[in-house]
Structures are given as C-alpha cells and as structure tokens.
Structure 1
C-alpha cells in the first residue's frame, strides 16, 4: 500500500448546516458508515446505506438520530470528553473543522471530532463518545464496540495516521471514563478499502442493490422500512417450486420450537410448584435467607407494578375525549409471518 500521501480537503465544516453536511456525505462513504459496509453495524444494512447514497430514502444509522435528547447530549459533551481525555493523558487536543477525502480512493471521506498533537510532531485521531451507564459493558476488558473500531480505521486510512484514540464518558465524573487506543493495521485497512471500493464502484455507482447478508432482525427491519404499508386486499403472490425446501425447513423448525416450548412450560410449572411452600412462608415478607455450610441462598419475592389500559377503556377514551386520545395514543403496525401446510 502506498503510504506516501496527504488527504484532500473537501471543504470546511465550521459553518455547515446539518442538511448540508448530510448532503455532502452522500458524495462518499463516511467513517460512521464503515461498519455498515463491513456488515457489522448494529443499526443498518448495506442495502439501507445504498438507498441513502443514491438518494432514494435517507436512513438513520444510529438510534440516537431518533432520540434528540441523546443526540444533543452526545454533541454537547464532545468538548468535555476531549477535555477529560487531554487532562488524563497530557496530550494536546484540538478540533478539526474540515471534511477530507482519501487522495487514492476519493469515495472515502472523513470529518473528525478532534486531533491529537504529540510532542514529537506526529498526530492521531481522537473520537469522542458518550453512552449511558447500562452500556458500559460494551467497553469492558479493553473492548471497543466494533462499529467504532471500523470508524477509526476508516479515519486513519483517510488521514494517513498511525494511531486513533476513542474516549467515552458513561457517567458524571472523570472516573467513569474509558480510553481505548487503536493502532493502524494495514491488513485490516486493506480489507476495509476493498469492501468500500466494491460497495461504491460496483453497487452505488452501478446502481446495483447489495444483497441482504446481515443479521435477520436487521434485515427484516430494513425490508419492512422500504416495503410500504401492508395491503390485505391484494391477492396472494405465487411462489416457485424452488421455494419449497425453505418452507419445509421453516415448518420443521416451527415443530421443534413447539416441542421445546412445551418442555419449557412443563419446567416452569414444576418450578412454580416448588415455590409454593416458600411463598406461603414468606407471607408479606419479600426475602428469605438460608445458610448452609459455606453457601448462602437468598430468595426474593418482590412486588412489581405496571400501569395498563384495557381495550375497552381505550375505546371509551377515544369516544369521550378524542383530543386527549389523539395526544396520548399512537398506533404501530407490525406484521406476523406464519406458514401453514394444507392439502392442495
């Protein structure tokens, strides 16, 4: 790989509106989209990204796009995360307000959070993240979420840097803070470039839809997103004989699942029967303890409560207070996939 290059500056991002920024990103593949191209994004498929790049329908590659509070928290805390990182490491950190492209692969574009300037004059990427307290497990044991790793590898390729750091704040003090270093790996970078080149040249520019190859839940959500509103008045479509094997396999798995569900229900009933004497002993108490040698057993029987509105009261609310109903009730549509074998 030719490593004797400097990135091209596309434009300054200092005064770009979000709409302008999103439009410019359609000119190539950005760092946060690298994991989608690699097929490991938790948020989107290559098909989703393809549709976005050809301007058919925009996608949201991060759930925070739908959560304006989380998005604002992330944006507003970037400077704080960079400041904490600088204080903890002693490294000089500054913002980079440019959008870049790779000189050899111009479809690879990058706009960075911050850049680290080392005492010897070399530089590195600093990617600033925040997450909620319950998501910290993704960073344990020096782990880096895979989508962030590919993002940094993409940036290192564009900027021709050897090192990237990710800093993540997950609490409200500087001890609840992760710092992860990622060193450039030219073998992985070559794989990334080849994947991105194929996606851009052979799919986006050739207007050829990428096949669905990601996790089933992600693929099904993607199909649902673009299929449109279900219409039960349409006639059944006719499948081909070649589809029979997959349908039979689906039915076999359904039968197996049914047997396992029956076994699970039987186990649950036995567990409930075993719990009866302890529930009776507890009465109003919510916990019990048994000490046996070096072992300690703790039983809890805590109350849980939830607010529900039954269907009858929903109808009453709609009829009596239509304005309030419109304010508080939203309708979601889901689809259930079933297969039934019948006589011809």
Structure 2
C-alpha cells in the first residue's frame, strides 16, 4: 500500500486524527440529535431570554450610552463624553446620598439578619404551629412598599404615633422619628424589619437541614447549647446567612420606595428630606423630576460599580467564613 493510500485511509477512518493534526468532526446525525434535544430547553427558556434581553441587557447597554450624553428626554441626546462622570465628583448631593445610603445599609443589614435568625430559631421549636407562623411572618412581605411608607408616618409620628405611645407607657420619651435628622434613618431601619419574613423562611429551611447527628456528637463531647450553636449551627447555616447578607446589602443600596413615599412623595416638604435622601431617590429626581437622564444614567452606573465592589469584597471574605458541606 502506498503512502498516499495509507494517508487517505487514515483520514477516512472515524475516531482518528489525520497527519495534519485535525480532529474528526461531529457526525451530522449527532449534531441533529443534539439540536433536537436542545430545542425544548430553548423553548422553555425563551420567555426568560426575551425578557432578559428586552428589560435588562438592552436597557443597561442604552443607559451606558446615555451616561455619555446630555439628554433631557425631549431632545436628541448630545454626546458629551465623560462630562457626567466628572460632574459626579463635584456634586455634594451625591456624597450626601451615598453617605445616607451607606449608613442606612450598615445599620439595617446586621439588625435584619439577627432578627431573622432569632425568629427562625423560634419557629424551629414551634412544632406543628410553625406552618401558621411562617405564613404570618411572610404576609407583610406582600404589603406594597407605598403602604409601608404611609404606615411609617403613622407609627413613628413624634406627636401621636403608636411607637412613641407605647414607649410612653414605660416612661420613655420617644424621639421625633420623622423630623429629627438623627432619628430618620434609625426609624426607617426599624420599619424595614416589617419584611423579614422571607429571610426567616430561608433560615428556617437551613436550620432544618442541619444533620441531627452533628448535635449528638457535640453533646457527647460535652458541648452545651451555646457551644453547639457556635460550632455546629452557625457553620452549617453560613451559606444561607451569607446569601441573606449579600441580598440585603444590595437591597439596602437600592432603598427607595418607603423613604420616598414618607419624605418626598406628593411634594412633601414637612419632614427632614436631606436625612432621608438616599442614592436611588436622588437618581430618580435627576431622571424624572429634573429630566437629566444622561446624568441619572451616570449615577446608575456609579451605583452599579459600588454594588459590584461591595459584593466582590463579601465574596472574598466568605471564603474564610462560609462553610459548605463539600469543603475539605
């Protein structure tokens, strides 16, 4: 057999490489089979794919373009380069809004997580009644945020609000939650606990997935309740805790509805607006009140960068603090 014939035979034999180093191609019938198997999955995913492209990907791309323009919604966008981003550094309202938002988030997230964990621990011991209480805790999550903002003004009114009335029963003179700048953010933090129900359910599920054998081993080693909680419970539910911390940190930076309804809605000028001027509220004002859509887009991308940076730091820290059962 000649060398040429040998080469042709090698190239024609399935599963072998030819002397040029080229791999064999996928047979056409296998490609067709793979496509037939993928079509149902793509069909089911298509509503999400279309929704993501139309309502998330495209708006993000377009807002990135608008951040480089001077656009008032009415006239054609005028390209101005990085002028909007340069303006961010000199805008005092940006620093004020970022400071308010960061302080609110630093106060809200730890308290939110602690309250959620305590309620989940109580539910874990509730037995058959836990189903009823899970529903009760979750129902406030379904309350419209605008209603929560109005409820905030009713409950935390410094003159005749329910919170100060109850504090008065114990001889405590309640603060002016809605007018004193020092108490506006703490009041909003306490009001945010209204919606801990979703986190409670997540943590309850994590608690019930902790193997009982781990607690038995801890008791055999002489560990008490607190030692078991520290060495068994917290490590085993740390992924759920980490998820709640990350999600609520992102939500804290995006706080808008309740604060806007309580302090800025319907031309409200009665209360201390600057203390409740959160970043997304200022972004909303620039976009829809002042029609500075280009500048608002730059504000949005700055917020995106901040959230990405904070989340990246949390992910790095989690490698030391979060335990997964597959870890060695």
Larger Rg: 2
Q: TM-score under structure 1 normalisation?
A: 0.18
TM-score where L is the length of structure 2: 0.19
Q: Which has more strand, going by share of residues?
A: 1
